[in-house]
Amino acid sequence: MVRTSTVPNPQTTRTELGERQTRRQFASLTLVLVTMLVVPFGLRALNMLAPAETGTPSYLPALEPIWERQMAFDANVVADLKVLQADYVLIGDSMAGSRVDPTDLANLLDPRGVAPIYYAATGSAFWYLAIKNWIVPSQTHPRLIIIFFRDENLTDPMFRVTGMYRGQLDRVARDHEGVLNDILAAHTQGAWFRVHAFADRLFQVERARRWVEPMLVSAPLDVAARGKARRSLLDRMNTELFKLDALRQMAPADMAQGDASTYDFRRNVNRSVLPEMLKIARRAGIKLAFVRVQRRPEGGKPPAQSSELQQYVRDLKSYLEQNGALFHDDWGDADQPLSIYADGDHVSSEFRRQYTENFVRKNPAFFR
């Protein structure tokens, strides 16, 4: 074989060199992107150094991965409902409790009974679980379940499920609450919560977060206080400095006015427990009724409602009626002036009977 030497074409060489470098630059970009995804796997290694975890997995991991129940599931309610076989079940928080007296209602209607499921400081997540885990398993068949709520409560499943309210759910929740968890996860982690869950499994994000975050948050305590004061500082900050009545712009009640996004019914309904409530009730052959209580009147008038809230109520009414539920709105009721109110949105106990009587009179469709 004869080897021939060729003179390189400078133009070609430059182009080839350029192309090679371009390929290398693309490789470098790929390297950066891949490294970016690989480094977080280091969290798994980091977690091995962390102290071992104790505790029971939460039934609502969207809120917290580990949860020690403050109380056990209350099976007595199921048993009581089974015995009572009430015609009407009333569900709600102190709004319902301060308005309708179950004994007075039973006396007015003379039905087999009225069962109140009144739990103060609860929200729609609790009420949904009450239907699912208490009423339906009790195999009672009430004529109607009446749920009392304020404004956007029904489409805000996050209302009273965190902080000091969290423990309330224990009494009504089973060990697995997948549907409620998915609904809450859609709020805490957005519509893409399943992607977040995948990333969590992949990189052990929450596991790392559970020991890194407290370390970071407690580090400044050493600078701020010493000894006993250090240990109690965070608690005292919450209970003394940032307690509810130290905050400004306190609404007359414990629930502030919402904004346009809060009152976007169509956007929020499918991320709420409301469709599930209706579904469970339908399956069990139970009719639901929803009562929107009037919030505290202002200046001798019913409380002002933004155009968004008015639209929200219209949409809610139409949605409930399409799904076979009953709806009543207390707003603007001339029999509910400011004088019958106690604190916040609560009705004064002396007007409870009056409210109950009016409630029966004004809702004949509920009590046919």
Q: Which of 1, 7, 36, 164 binds another protein (CB under 8 A)?
A: 36
Q: How far is the CB of 333 from another protein (least distance, A)?
A: 25
Q: CA 143, 269, 325: angle at the middle one, nearest 5?
A: 20
Q: How many residues bind another protein (CB under 8 A)?
A: 56
Return the residue of 306, 349, 362, 365 that touches another protein, per CB under 8 A: 306
Interface residue with another protein, options 84, 221, 269, 284 (CB under 8 A) = 221
d(CA 318, CA 326): 10
Stretch that binds another protein, among 34-42, 172-180, 311-319, 354-362 (CB under 8 A): 34-42
Does the footprint of another protein cover residue 18 (CB under 8 A)?
yes
* 120, 212, 253, 360: which one binds another protein (CB under 8 A): 212
Residue 315 DSSP code: H
Residue 108 interacts with another protein (CB under 8 A): yes or no = no
Q: What DSSP character marks residue 304?
A: P
Is the dihedral angle over the CA atoms 98, 100, 106, 112 positive or is it negative?
negative
Q: Does 201 bind another protein (CB under 8 A)?
A: no
* Contact flag: residue 198 with another protein (CB under 8 A): no
Please, which residues bridge with residue 288 across strands? 145
Distance between start and end Cα atoms, the chain: 108
* Out of 246, 285, 334, 350, the residue judged to bind another protein by CB under 8 A: 246
79 is a contact residue toward another protein (CB under 8 A): no
Q: Residue 41 CB, nearest distance to another protein (Å)?
A: 9
Per the CB < 8 A criterion, the answer to whether 86 and 339 are in contact is no
How many angstroms separate the CA atoms of 45 and 203, rounded?
Answer: 10
Residue of 94, 131, 136, 138 whose CA lies nearest to 293: 94
Count CA within 13 A, CB hemisphere, residue 25: 6
Out of 2, 7, 38, 49, the residue judged to bind another protein by CB under 8 A: 38
The piece of 75-83, 124-132, 197-205, 341-349 that touches another protein (CB under 8 A) is: 197-205
Torsion region of 146: left, alpha or beta (phi above 0 gives left; psi -120 to 50 gives alpha): beta
Stretch that binds another protein, among 36-44, 137-145, 314-322, 348-356 (CB under 8 A): 36-44
Tell which residue, 90, 47, 194, 75, has the closest CA to residue 137: 75
Q: Which is nearer to another protein, 38 or 164 (CB)?
A: 38
Which 3 state secondary structure label does DSSP give 172?
coil
Per CB under 8 A, residues contacting another protein are 17-18, 21-22, 24-29, 31-40, 42-43, 188, 190-192, 195, 199, 203, 205, 208-209, 212-213, 216-217, 219-221, 223-225, 229, 233, 236-237, 240-242, 246-249, 260, 306-307
